Amino acid sequence: MKICYLGTGSWGFCLGHLLASKGYDVVSWTTNPGLCQQLNQTRIHPRFPKHPAPKNSSFTTDLAKALDGADVIVESVTASGLRPVCEKLLDLKIKPCLFVLTSKGIEQNSELILPDVVVDVLGEDFRSFVGSISGPSYAQEVIQQLPTTVVASAYDTDTISKICDLFTTPRFRVYPNQDVIGVAYGGALKNIIAIACGIADGLNFGYSTKAAIMTRGLHEMGKLAVAKGCKKETLQGLSGMGDVCLTCSSSMSRNFRFGQLLAEGRTAEQALQEIGMVVEGAYTCVTALQISKELDIPMPITETVYQILYEHLNLTEAVARLMSRTIKEEHL
């Protein structure tokens, strides 16, 4: 079986490596000619020097070549880059096939979750073929085959089963979950909370502060997701609480590290440049706040992160505002 993999960033290379290690032929597409040449010649990704690409994986900047004969498409682009890539696929007149998303986010302006972005561009014929995986998983650890578990979600139960079979290994366990909306919202919103936790860490506020942000952050994530139609328990699972626990606790998370850099005095632009990768929480918080206002659902942590990033709210003032909010009974 041939797999067309869209993207050769950290997560894209890691999961491409996983799939190729299972014996699948993986052709990864990238827009970076230099990286493409390096990967084909040396088999080494600059972020994973100890883990060369398997022999049955190859790399190309030619999207049509990557798609030729592919049975499966796997995506690791970005939330903002998904639509432009899907438009390229539309121009190439691809036929419906298993399409697995690994990016996490909510598209700005349209407010669509990423599976629906694919359907919006490629058409309803693709709906039953589109799915996603989400959950607590760092690329650096997955490529080392450190054990972890994630969930697979799709509108079609057969598609969920295929995704589980495709990705499951003895060290990468994939659970089925039919709540497409809940899985998408959990994976997207936790990145915003991770930025807040990173800021707290950078301000040396300690473990208690981060635990409080994670708990209250999960609460506001759940309120919004349920209002959009997800199951409450989904946010208590791997794509919700599991991903929050991981992303909000370590500088291995680019969203957490982004928050740390802000607390250390970098501007958002400087922090992004230093990280050198997309920080999805900075993108997603715009749409999350917009949706929360449309539905009249208070999301104080999300709103504060937005104000810090886009309205230049001082961090000291941000903390004061959160801690001086009217106290209400805790409803879970």
**Token code pair at residue 7:** 């993207």
Count, residues in the chain = 332
- Whole-angstrom distance, CA of residue 210 vs CA of residue 22: 38
Residue 328 known to be catalytic? no
Burial of 229 (0-12, 13-18, 19+ CB in 10 A): exposed
Give the separation between CA 148 and CA 118, rounded to whole angstroms. Answer: 27
Point out the catalytic residue in the list 104, 190, 210, 223: 190
> Per the structure block, which two tokens stand in for 132?
């996603």
Pairing of strands 57-60, 25-29: parallel
Residues 6+ apart with CB under 8 A from 267: none
Q: Judge whether 118 and 154 are in contact, CB under 8 Å.
A: no
Sorted by sequence, the CB contacts under 8 Å of residue 311 that are 6+ apart come out as none
Which residue, chain included where needed, has tokens 């939330």? 79
CB 104 within 8 A of CB 188: yes
End-to-end CA distance of the chain, in Å? 46
Name beta bridge partners: 2.
Answer: 25
Cα separation of 28 and 26, whole Å?
6
Convert 179-211 to b/e letters by CB count within 10 Å (16 or more is b): bbbbbbbbbbbbbbbbbbbbbbbbbebeeebbe
Which residues are the active-site residues?
Answer: 190
